[in-house]
Structure 1
Amino acid sequence: MAQPSWSHTPPDTGTTIVACAYPGGVVLGADSRVSTGTYVSNRASDKLTPLAETAWLLRSGSAADTQLVADYVRYFAQQHSLELGQAPDVSTVARLVQTMNYNNKQMLVGAMIVAGYDKKAGGQVYGCPIGGTLVRENWTTDGSGSTFLWGFLDSAYREDMTREETEELVTNALALAMARDGSSGGVARLVTISAAGTTRRMIKEDALPVGWDELGPAGVIV
């Protein structure tokens, strides 16, 4: 019996990932929804993955592909760390991700961001989209929800923001994307990396900011 045509079609995936640098550190954020087409396969996924002591990967696209890249890069970063006797620079880890992504660009479907902090260059954000490009930026976003955020982040981001302001910006960006993109949702996960260390936060869905157009009469959420 012939298989239906839809069985030969790769599954669509969706995500919202955001990273913003500020003086003294960097803030990463991601939603937690994993979807396969219109089916939500995981409501509480963790898309923020540590690669080294102070460098993390934000994953969007195929979960299997990006998890495999993370595993390989983490291994090579650990080997490099042993050789150096210290944690590798964030730029080195970002270059490892780019190399893995570019050398397998015909097979991988993953748009990723590498972000972290080191004493040499401070807070850093590197966009690594599908195809293997690597670009350092003050902020970037990717995934299906990113299409709703470019104008907002371009307008709201400032290079002199405090840690608290940057965390608020990333949280607001995730909330906006999750309200608009059907493939983004669940909880918001935040990671802040600075000279003081790494901290993680989880913001439940009912604690996220709500836009005015999501409110009905008398402030009822619709």
Structure 2
Amino acid sequence: MDASLMGAPSAAAGDNPTSGEHRMGTTIVGVCYDGGVVLAADSRTSTGMYVANRASDKITQLTDNVYICRSGSAADTQVISDYVRYFLHQHTIQLGQPATVKVAANLIRLLAYQNKNMLQAGMIVGGWDKYEGGQIFSVPLGGTILRQPFAIGGSGSSYLYGLLDHEWKEGMSQEEAEKFVVKVVSLAIARDGASGGVVRTVTINADGVSRKFHPGDKLQLWHEELEPQNSLLDILAAGNPDPMVQ
């Protein structure tokens, strides 16, 4: 995987660690369950070696029934999403019905492949349609397209392959799938310095779309992780006479 997708500072950053391109050294996940799909992502965006946005939304709507998880260069993935959203809107008007997940994923793949020398974008497309139900497509750096029962991407993915191989199972319920993706992203946040913040999830099925938000201080703790503590500003605002004592 390209180093820029692993949370490394951009070469263009030079000596100024805040002048790099906005990148999402990221953890993104998509899983199929019995009836639909669940997408999840962390929320940390970095500029060079600094966190530029700790609560960004990396799950973007393409149509009413298709969403995309974005990792890599924030600008690259945003412009791909904008183009594809426009094309799918025109496609829906012409056909008189919603675009399928496969059509959306192939448009993403087409843009990523034709511009592979200029883009740094790894994406997961997930959605539901009446023809094939819930589907997950992975479009990694370079523009390959793979349909998979689950997919992971971003810098945090290197910590997750064993967990997904061991614990993902066919026929999960919606509740099981939602809890599973939050567990997966929380592990990546614990292990990967370029992933962090909150966990956002999007569930897509025949009934529509539901979004959920999981604050960072409510996520599962892993081996030797410390309990969340108030920041120094929170302690001072509370009037604690000794800010170093909880």
Task: Please give the TM-score of this superposition, normalised by the length of structure 1.
Answer: 0.92
Match of 2:136 among 125, 128, 132: 125
User: Aligned to 2:172, what secondary structure does the other structure show?
Assistant: coil
Partner in structure 2 of residue 194 of structure 1: 205
- In the alignment, the residues of structure 1 paired with residue 138 and residue 90 of structure 2 have an alpha-carbon distance, to the nearest angstrom, of 24
Identity %: 49
Q: Is the 8 A contact 1:115 1:123 kept in 2?
A: yes
- In the alignment, the residues of structure 1 paired with residue 223 and residue 44 of structure 2 have an alpha-carbon distance, to the nearest angstrom, of 23
User: How far 1:37 sits from its partner (Å)?
Assistant: 2.9
Match of 2:81 among 70, 82, 96: 70
Q: Is the 8 A contact 2:28 2:152 kept in 1?
A: yes
- In the alignment, the residues of structure 1 paired with residue 93 and residue 13 of structure 2 have an alpha-carbon distance, to the nearest angstrom, of 51
**Post-superposition, which runs of at least 4 consecutive aligned residues in structure 1 deviate over 4 A?**
3-7, 9-13
- In the alignment, the residues of structure 2 paired with residue 82 and residue 69 of structure 1 have an alpha-carbon distance, to the nearest angstrom, of 20
User: Aligned to 1:174, what secondary structure does the other structure show?
Assistant: helix
Q: Is the 8 A contact 1:23 1:122 kept in 2?
A: no
- In the alignment, the residues of structure 2 paired with residue 95 and residue 117 of structure 1 have an alpha-carbon distance, to the nearest angstrom, of 15
Matched, 1:31 2:56: no
- In the alignment, the residues of structure 2 paired with residue 137 and residue 197 of structure 1 have an alpha-carbon distance, to the nearest angstrom, of 21
Partner in structure 2 of residue 105 of structure 1: 116
User: How far 1:119 sits from its partner (Å)?
Assistant: 1.2
> 1 or 2 for the larger relative contact order (CA 8 Å, sep ≥6)?
1
Q: Can you give the 5+ residue segments of structure 1 that lack an aligned partner in the other structure?
A: none
User: Aligned to 1:214, what secondary structure does the other structure show?
Assistant: coil
- In the alignment, the residues of structure 1 paired with residue 147 and residue 20 of structure 2 have an alpha-carbon distance, to the nearest angstrom, of 30
Q: Is the 8 A contact 2:20 2:47 kept in 1?
A: no
Q: Is the 8 A contact 2:20 2:48 kept in 1?
A: no
Partner in structure 1 of residue 171 of structure 2: 160
Q: Is the 8 A contact 2:122 2:153 kept in 1?
A: yes
Residue 5 to residue 186, structure 1, CA distance change in 2 (3 Å): closer
Task: Please give the TM-score of this superposition, normalised by the length of structure 2.
Answer: 0.84
Matched, 1:40 2:47: no
- In the alignment, the residues of structure 1 paired with residue 15 and residue 115 of structure 2 have an alpha-carbon distance, to the nearest angstrom, of 26
Partner in structure 1 of residue 216 of structure 2: 205
Cα RMSD of the aligned pairs, angstroms, is 1.9
Q: Is the 8 A contact 2:217 2:228 kept in 1?
A: no
- In the alignment, the residues of structure 2 paired with residue 157 and residue 36 of structure 1 have an alpha-carbon distance, to the nearest angstrom, of 33
Alignment of 1:133-148 (within 5 A): 133-148=144-159
User: How far 1:209 sits from its partner (Å)?
Assistant: 1.1
Partner in structure 2 of residue 94 of structure 1: 105
What amino acid is the match of 1:179? A
- In the alignment, the residues of structure 2 paired with residue 35 and residue 103 of structure 1 have an alpha-carbon distance, to the nearest angstrom, of 26
- In the alignment, the residues of structure 2 paired with residue 31 and residue 37 of structure 1 have an alpha-carbon distance, to the nearest angstrom, of 18
Partner in structure 1 of residue 236 of structure 2: none
User: Aligned to 2:136, what secondary structure does the other structure show?
Assistant: strand
Q: Is the 8 A contact 2:124 2:138 kept in 1?
A: yes
Q: Is the 8 A contact 1:109 1:130 kept in 2?
A: yes
The Cα offsets for residues 80-121 of structure 1, whole Å up to 9 and x where unpaired, read as: 000111110000000000001001001000001101011111
The Cα offsets for residues 41-100 of structure 1, whole Å up to 9 and x where unpaired, read as: 001100000111101110000000000000000000000000111110000000000001
User: Aligned to 2:169, what secondary structure does the other structure show?
Assistant: coil
Partner in structure 2 of residue 20 of structure 1: 31
Partner in structure 2 of residue 178 of structure 1: 189
